[in-house]
Amino acid sequence: MKTLSMEPMKLIVSIVERGQGRNMIELFNGQKVTHHLQCAGKGTATSEIMDLLGLDSLEKDVVFSIGKATLVNQLMRDLNHELRGSARSKGIVFDMKITAMSHVLALAILMPVREAQGREDIMMEEGMENSMILVTVNQGFTEEVMHTARKAGACGGTIIRARWAGSESTEEFYGITVQQEKEIIAIVSPSGKRKDIMEAINSQHGLKTEARGTVCSLAIEDMVRLG
């Protein structure tokens, strides 16, 4: 598939107390970062660490948000200053550079859906030695996606239950309705295999299929294998 160069993207990860994820989504929507997946999590931190982070409960909302790097950078700066009180949430927020994503998802973020052409290419940037590929699909398709990923060189993946929480303007991609109940598959891969894995998943399980999959990857700076 053709490799395309587009404006850099970032992923924001917000880990806040249960019930506060919606506050973060509403705040981010107001700052034009409108593509989100919300998950339920449970923390394992000690009481001392919880106090340090200003958290009261181990029950967490985890929100993954994707946006243009320029918007995300400004949002992160504002969160540390004038928007701090607007979050109405306790927790931590951090961002990561996205090294690749499906073209259809990039276009939906960069411009109104009606102006896009519905291409299914993969956009790429130079990444690190290892990458984490994130795939979101409708529930019930994870086994099929992992079978495709393994055939393309992946060793395995981790599945996370999630819920689409985008704004009303992003509930459809090119006229394709986005199912709210989602599953996220996280695959750690050598960057040399990343493109083949992403293209195979996007080709067989992309937005134009029943799986309604989207795919992106993040650079891993350091990795240690345990055991």
Where are the strands (E) in the chain, listed by range? 3-4, 9-17, 35-42, 59-68, 91-102, 122-124, 130-138, 158-164, 172-173, 176-177, 181-190, 214-220
How many Cβ atoms from other residues are within 10 Å of residue 175's Cβ? 8
Q: Hey, what amino acid is at 185?
A: I
DSSP state string for 78-123: HHTTTTTGGG---EEEEEEEEEEEEHHHHHHHHS-GGG------EE
Task: Pick one of 3.50.30.30, 3.40.980.10, 3.30.70.120, 3.30.460.80 as the CATH number of 7-220.
Answer: 3.30.70.120
| Separation CA 47–CA 97 (nearest Å) | 31
- Residues of the chain under the 70 pLDDT cut: 1-6, 42-58, 108, 110-128, 166-179, 221-227
Q: What is the pTM of this model?
A: 0.71
* Residue ranges covered by each domain of the chain: 7-220
pLDDT of residue 142: 92
pLDDT of residue 103: 74
pLDDT of residue 125: 60
Closest CA to 27 of 165, 195, 200, 177: 165
pLDDT of residue 118: 46
pLDDT of residue 197: 95
